Chains A and B, each alone.
Chain A
Amino acid sequence: MSGSMISGPEGRRFTPWRALLLAVFALLSACGPSEVAVQGQFPAPLMQKLPLSLGVWYDEGFRTHEFFDEAKGRAESGWIVKTGDAQVQMWDTLLPGMFRELTHMKAKPEPGQMNQAVDAVLIPHVDELQYAIPTHTNVKVYEIWMRYRFELVSPGGKPLAEWTMTAYGKTPTAFLQSDEAAVNLAAVVALRDAGANFATNFTRVPQVQDWLAQRRNTAPRVAGNQEVEP
């Protein structure tokens, strides 16, 4: 009997019973939901930087964002898509390329809250995430769709603008590609799309346009006043 025992790491011994138990756990874990922690590389944007000092605040829900979809039947598996880390990675790559200066705020901008001095603070939220895989749609693409909500506030928490934005990513089926790898790729494409949408449309958001116009109007007047003042 002792001859059939296998020495494992740290001197622990695995009997055939333990090995069988591990195999059963491994089989049972295969029945659980498919889990994807989105991982990818995101390029910096190639554009002229806006002359703004922007702060960014990622709240807990954004930093740890995950999507859970329970299996609807025995034939299907549930899905957990964790996008939090990839979201932070993507926005931390995009925003420094878009604005003259980017600051990560120490705390959520609120009245009375001590914080760094910036022109405005961006607070992104993921309001909704949907996915589709070929078994759902009979179309040979994996898809991820996200709806973001952005708040642009003053460092003191005064709302300056609020708007929503969608992002979409898809990837075709590929030989020997697992569902998890394909969903990950579709999520990376969706995140890139989110960055592209934000970068190309930020200055077209009506409330942001109003705020930028207000800043333009205020800045020269102050300078002019200074010139005439003794």
Chain B
Amino acid sequence: MSMMRRALLLAPLVSLPLLTGCVTATVDEMVFNEPVEGIGDASVVILGRRHASDYETEPDFIECVGDHISSRDNSIEVIDELDFINALYPWFEPRTAPLYPEDLEKLLQQPPVAQRLAELRTQYMIWIDGSTIRTDSAGSMTCGIGPGGAGCFGFGTWGNDSDYEATIWDFTNRAEVGRINASASGQSYMPAVVVPIPIIAPVQGTACDSVGDQLLQFLSSEY
């Protein structure tokens, strides 16, 4: 195989990580009582709302937002969602999770729950509700395999929409202190001439960064 041909075949593979589709994102924010000095020794928990019947806030999105915050300000302790839900089972399951800050009062009347929450030093509870959906798709692609090799030919495109709302509860005052709404949309493409070249629009990742940045501004004294 000539060097030229090898380079032509490798070029799409090498350039894969560089190709991404365009994403449009919008962020709305309304927050009160920002902790100007940061949250100190307290911790934050980010939880997904999962009581809707037709969608579920993705656990990996919650993890992404948590990682976004803790990687940029390592003084903020973000409790892992599953660890928190397991530690307080059965009070944060979709069926039993508090829907309003006032519901926390009732929960704290139970001594074991109050004690566990005190141990966790939770200052802010952030609920994220939303999902990423595929809006439309078009095109077709055919792949084949034969004695001479394998390959694909065609073109595919699809769109994704993300819509998430983060609600911040101040645990000490049992009050809602902020709401952040982030929506993002983008179109992904997959042309294929022998090798499929995915040009993926990082819609969910952009929404994660948007929510994470706004939460960081609220929680961190450095931003």
Contacts and interface: CB of A to CB of B under 8 A. Distances in A.
Interface in B10-41: none
Interface of B: 50, 54-56, 58, 60, 86-91, 93-96, 110-113, 116, 131, 133
B110 A48 contact: yes
Contacts, number: 55
Given A46-B113, A47-B110, A200-B96, A192 B56 contact: no
Contact of B89 (A140, A170, A196, A197): A196
A88 interface: no
B94 A193 contact: yes
26 contacts: A43-B86, A43-B89, A44-B89, A45-B89, A46-B87, A46-B89, A46-B90, A46-B91, A46-B116, A47-B113, A48-B111, A48-B112, A141-B54, A141-B55, A171-B56, A172-B56, A172-B131, A174-B60, A192-B89, A192-B93, A193-B95, A195-B89, A196-B90, A196-B96, A197-B95, A200-B95
> Main secondary structure on chain B at its contact with chain A?
loop
Interface in A182-202: 189, 192-193, 195-197, 199-200
A196 B93 contact: yes
A10 to B, nearest CB: 36
A20 interface: no
A143 B38 CA distance: 41
A63 B110 CA distance: 33
Contacts of A174: 58, 60
A139 interface: yes
A171 B86 CA distance: 17
A118 to B, nearest CB: 24
Contact of B112 (A46, A192, A193, A195): A46
Interface string A192-230: 110111011000000000000000000000000000000
A171 B55 CA distance: 9
A45 B90 contact: yes
Closest 7 CB pairs of A and B: A196-B90, A43-B89, A196-B93, A43-B86, A172-B56, A199-B90, A46-B112
Given A44-B89, A48-B111, A141-B56, 20 more contacts: A43-B86, A45-B89, A45-B90, A46-B88, A46-B90, A46-B112, A46-B116, A47-B90, A48-B112, A140-B133, A172-B55, A174-B60, A192-B89, A192-B90, A192-B93, A193-B94, A193-B95, A197-B95, A200-B90, A200-B96
B96 A139 contact: no
A174 B112 CA distance: 35
